[in-house]
Structure 1
Protein backbone atom coordinates (compact mmCIF):
# COMPACT_ATOMS: atom_id res chain seq x y z
CA UNK A 1 0.00 0.00 0.00
CA UNK A 2 1.31 3.42 -0.90
CA UNK A 3 0.33 6.74 0.58
CA UNK A 4 -2.13 7.10 3.40
CA UNK A 5 -5.08 4.78 3.76
CA UNK A 6 -7.87 6.09 5.97
CA UNK A 7 -10.37 3.83 7.77
CA UNK A 8 -13.79 5.09 8.82
CA UNK A 9 -15.98 2.92 11.04
CA UNK A 10 -19.09 5.08 10.94
CA UNK A 11 -18.80 5.90 14.63
CA UNK A 12 -20.91 8.87 15.74
CA UNK A 13 -18.01 11.15 16.57
CA UNK A 14 -15.87 10.66 13.46
CA UNK A 15 -17.72 13.38 11.53
CA UNK A 16 -18.33 15.62 14.56
CA UNK A 17 -14.68 15.64 15.64
CA UNK A 18 -13.12 15.06 12.22
CA UNK A 19 -10.96 11.98 12.69
CA UNK A 20 -10.38 8.52 11.26
CA UNK A 21 -10.70 5.21 13.08
CA UNK A 22 -7.31 4.22 11.67
CA UNK A 23 -4.65 5.36 9.25
CA UNK A 24 -2.03 3.24 7.52
CA UNK A 25 1.10 4.89 6.20
CA UNK A 26 3.51 2.40 4.67
CA UNK A 27 3.95 -0.41 7.17
CA UNK A 28 2.65 1.59 10.16
CA UNK A 29 -0.96 1.57 11.34
CA UNK A 30 -2.40 3.76 14.08
CA UNK A 31 -5.88 3.08 15.44
CA UNK A 32 -7.60 5.94 17.24
CA UNK A 33 -8.95 5.70 20.76
CA UNK A 34 -11.80 3.23 20.48
CA UNK A 35 -14.75 2.85 22.83
CA UNK A 36 -17.71 0.49 23.15
CA UNK A 37 -20.13 2.57 21.11
CA UNK A 38 -22.14 1.51 18.11
CA UNK A 39 -25.15 2.83 16.22
CA UNK A 40 -27.54 1.37 18.78
CA UNK A 41 -25.69 2.95 21.70
CA UNK A 42 -23.14 1.94 24.31
CA UNK A 43 -22.28 -1.76 24.47
CA UNK A 44 -21.99 -3.45 27.88
CA UNK A 45 -23.17 -0.58 30.04
CA UNK A 46 -21.67 -1.10 33.50
CA UNK A 47 -19.49 -4.04 32.36
CA UNK A 48 -15.87 -3.09 31.69
CA UNK A 49 -14.98 -6.61 30.51
CA UNK A 50 -17.70 -6.62 27.83
CA UNK A 51 -16.70 -3.14 26.76
CA UNK A 52 -13.03 -4.12 26.50
CA UNK A 53 -13.80 -7.23 24.44
CA UNK A 54 -16.01 -5.17 22.11
CA UNK A 55 -13.34 -2.47 21.72
CA UNK A 56 -10.66 -5.04 20.87
CA UNK A 57 -12.94 -6.51 18.17
CA UNK A 58 -13.48 -3.06 16.64
CA UNK A 59 -9.72 -2.51 16.65
CA UNK A 60 -9.13 -5.91 15.07
CA UNK A 61 -11.61 -5.06 12.29
CA UNK A 62 -9.93 -1.68 11.67
CA UNK A 63 -6.52 -3.34 11.46
CA UNK A 64 -7.81 -6.03 9.10
CA UNK A 65 -9.25 -3.40 6.77
CA UNK A 66 -5.69 -2.22 6.01
CA UNK A 67 -4.04 -5.65 5.95
CA UNK A 68 -2.87 -5.80 9.57
CA UNK A 69 -3.58 -8.19 12.44
CA UNK A 70 -3.59 -8.02 16.20
CA UNK A 71 -0.24 -9.83 16.10
CA UNK A 72 1.22 -6.74 14.38
CA UNK A 73 0.37 -4.49 17.34
CA UNK A 74 3.40 -3.09 19.15
CA UNK A 75 1.79 -0.43 21.41
CA UNK A 76 -1.48 -0.46 23.36
CA UNK A 77 -2.76 2.50 25.38
CA UNK A 78 -5.68 1.79 27.68
CA UNK A 79 -7.68 4.51 29.40
CA UNK A 80 -10.04 3.43 32.20
CA UNK A 81 -12.40 5.48 34.34
CA UNK A 82 -11.84 3.25 37.38
CA UNK A 83 -8.35 1.87 37.98
CA UNK A 84 -9.71 -0.63 40.50
CA UNK A 85 -11.01 -2.56 37.45
CA UNK A 86 -7.61 -2.85 35.75
CA UNK A 87 -7.41 -6.61 36.30
CA UNK A 88 -10.68 -7.16 34.46
CA UNK A 89 -9.41 -5.11 31.53
CA UNK A 90 -6.09 -6.98 31.71
CA UNK A 91 -7.92 -10.31 31.40
CA UNK A 92 -9.56 -9.24 28.10
CA UNK A 93 -6.24 -7.78 26.90
CA UNK A 94 -4.38 -11.00 27.76
CA UNK A 95 -6.94 -13.09 25.83
CA UNK A 96 -5.91 -11.24 22.67
CA UNK A 97 -2.28 -10.30 23.29
CA UNK A 98 -0.78 -13.03 25.51
CA UNK A 99 1.54 -14.22 22.73
CA UNK A 100 2.05 -10.78 21.13
CA UNK A 101 3.03 -8.94 24.32
CA UNK A 102 2.91 -5.38 23.00
CA UNK A 103 4.12 -2.43 25.04
CA UNK A 104 1.03 -1.52 27.08
CA UNK A 105 0.06 1.39 29.28
CA UNK A 106 -3.03 1.62 31.50
CA UNK A 107 -4.04 5.07 32.71
CA UNK A 108 -7.00 6.19 34.78
CA UNK A 109 -8.89 9.16 33.39
CA UNK A 110 -11.61 11.26 34.98
CA UNK A 111 -14.14 10.59 32.22
CA UNK A 112 -14.61 9.51 28.62
CA UNK A 113 -16.82 11.17 25.99
CA UNK A 114 -19.94 9.38 27.30
CA UNK A 115 -20.28 8.69 31.03
CA UNK A 116 -21.44 5.11 30.33
CA UNK A 117 -18.10 4.32 28.68
CA UNK A 118 -15.59 2.69 31.03
CA UNK A 119 -12.61 2.00 28.76
CA UNK A 120 -10.96 3.45 25.66
CA UNK A 121 -8.10 1.78 23.80
CA UNK A 122 -5.75 2.94 21.05
CA UNK A 123 -3.09 0.89 19.33
CA UNK A 124 -0.15 1.18 16.99
CA UNK A 125 0.92 -1.63 14.70
CA UNK A 126 3.85 -2.26 12.38
CA UNK A 127 3.71 -4.74 9.53
CA UNK A 128 6.99 -6.51 8.94
CA UNK A 129 7.02 -6.66 5.16
Structure 2
Protein backbone atom coordinates (compact mmCIF):
# COMPACT_ATOMS: atom_id res chain seq x y z
CA UNK A 1 0.00 0.00 0.00
CA UNK A 2 1.35 3.43 -0.94
CA UNK A 3 0.51 6.60 0.95
CA UNK A 4 0.97 10.16 -0.16
CA UNK A 5 3.66 11.62 2.09
CA UNK A 6 3.73 15.16 3.39
CA UNK A 7 6.91 16.35 5.12
CA UNK A 8 6.54 18.88 7.93
CA UNK A 9 9.72 20.77 8.73
CA UNK A 10 10.73 22.41 11.98
CA UNK A 11 13.12 24.63 10.05
CA UNK A 12 16.15 23.09 11.76
CA UNK A 13 19.37 23.33 9.77
CA UNK A 14 19.97 19.67 10.66
CA UNK A 15 16.91 18.31 8.84
CA UNK A 16 18.44 18.30 5.32
CA UNK A 17 21.86 17.23 6.64
CA UNK A 18 20.63 14.32 8.77
CA UNK A 19 17.62 13.50 6.59
CA UNK A 20 14.60 13.86 8.83
CA UNK A 21 11.48 15.99 9.21
CA UNK A 22 9.78 17.11 12.41
CA UNK A 23 6.78 15.13 11.21
CA UNK A 24 5.62 13.08 8.25
CA UNK A 25 2.00 12.60 7.31
CA UNK A 26 1.43 9.39 5.35
CA UNK A 27 -2.23 8.92 4.50
CA UNK A 28 -4.17 9.15 7.77
CA UNK A 29 -1.05 8.58 9.89
CA UNK A 30 1.23 11.23 11.37
CA UNK A 31 4.68 10.33 12.67
CA UNK A 32 6.55 12.81 14.86
CA UNK A 33 10.34 12.68 15.07
CA UNK A 34 12.12 12.62 18.40
CA UNK A 35 11.67 16.08 19.87
CA UNK A 36 13.76 17.93 22.42
CA UNK A 37 13.70 21.39 23.96
CA UNK A 38 17.09 22.15 22.40
CA UNK A 39 17.87 25.60 21.02
CA UNK A 40 21.11 27.29 19.89
CA UNK A 41 21.41 29.08 23.24
CA UNK A 42 20.65 25.92 25.24
CA UNK A 43 17.58 23.98 26.24
CA UNK A 44 14.37 25.98 26.47
CA UNK A 45 13.45 25.63 30.14
CA UNK A 46 17.06 25.34 31.25
CA UNK A 47 17.45 22.48 33.70
CA UNK A 48 13.73 22.37 34.61
CA UNK A 49 12.39 19.06 33.23
CA UNK A 50 8.75 20.22 33.40
CA UNK A 51 9.52 23.41 31.45
CA UNK A 52 11.48 21.41 28.87
CA UNK A 53 8.56 18.98 28.52
CA UNK A 54 6.09 21.83 27.98
CA UNK A 55 8.35 23.22 25.23
CA UNK A 56 8.55 19.79 23.61
CA UNK A 57 4.76 19.44 23.61
CA UNK A 58 4.44 22.98 22.20
CA UNK A 59 6.66 21.90 19.29
CA UNK A 60 4.74 18.66 18.83
CA UNK A 61 1.39 20.52 18.92
CA UNK A 62 2.58 22.78 16.09
CA UNK A 63 3.70 19.80 13.99
CA UNK A 64 0.40 18.01 14.62
CA UNK A 65 -1.54 21.13 13.64
CA UNK A 66 0.46 21.47 10.42
CA UNK A 67 -0.37 17.81 9.69
CA UNK A 68 -4.08 18.38 10.33
CA UNK A 69 -4.11 16.53 13.66
CA UNK A 70 -4.35 17.24 17.39
CA UNK A 71 -3.27 15.63 20.64
CA UNK A 72 -6.68 13.94 20.63
CA UNK A 73 -5.55 11.91 17.60
CA UNK A 74 -2.41 10.56 19.32
CA UNK A 75 -2.51 6.85 20.11
CA UNK A 76 1.02 6.32 21.43
CA UNK A 77 3.78 8.31 23.06
CA UNK A 78 7.31 7.45 24.11
CA UNK A 79 9.42 9.39 26.57
CA UNK A 80 13.16 9.07 27.09
CA UNK A 81 14.72 10.52 30.22
CA UNK A 82 18.38 11.11 30.93
CA UNK A 83 17.62 11.13 34.66
CA UNK A 84 14.92 8.88 36.13
CA UNK A 85 14.59 11.36 38.99
CA UNK A 86 12.77 13.62 36.47
CA UNK A 87 10.02 11.03 35.93
CA UNK A 88 7.41 12.64 38.19
CA UNK A 89 7.88 16.15 36.77
CA UNK A 90 7.83 14.96 33.16
CA UNK A 91 4.97 12.53 33.79
CA UNK A 92 2.84 15.27 35.34
CA UNK A 93 3.21 17.45 32.23
CA UNK A 94 2.50 14.45 30.00
CA UNK A 95 -0.72 13.95 32.00
CA UNK A 96 -1.69 17.59 31.41
CA UNK A 97 -1.73 16.89 27.68
CA UNK A 98 -2.93 13.29 27.62
CA UNK A 99 -4.75 12.77 30.94
How far does the alpha carbon of each residue in 1:32-58 deviate from its partner, in whole angstroms, 9 at most, with x for none?
000002355421121111000000010
**Structure 1 stretch 68-77 or stretch 15-24: which is displaced more?**
15-24
Which residue of the partner structure matches residue 37 of structure 1? 38
Please give the TM-score of this superposition, normalised by the length of structure 2.
0.90
Matches within 5 A, 1:115-126: none
> For structure 1, which runs of at least 5 residues remain unmatched after alignment?
99-129
Matches within 5 A, 1:57-76: 57-76=58-77
Structure 1: how far apart are the matches of 2:41 and 2:9? 17
Which has the bigger relative contact order, CA under 8 A and spacing at least 6?
1
Matches within 5 A, 1:13-24: 13-24=14-25
Query: How many matched pairs?
Result: 97
Give runs of ≥4 in structure 1 deviating > 3 Å: 38-41
What is the Cα deviation at residue 61 of structure 1? Answer: 0.4
What root-mean-square deviation, in Å, do the aligned CA atoms of Structure 1 and Structure 2 show? 1.4
Of Structure 1 and Structure 2, which has the larger fraction of its residues in strand?
Answer: 1
What is the Cα deviation at residue 12 of structure 1? Answer: 3.9
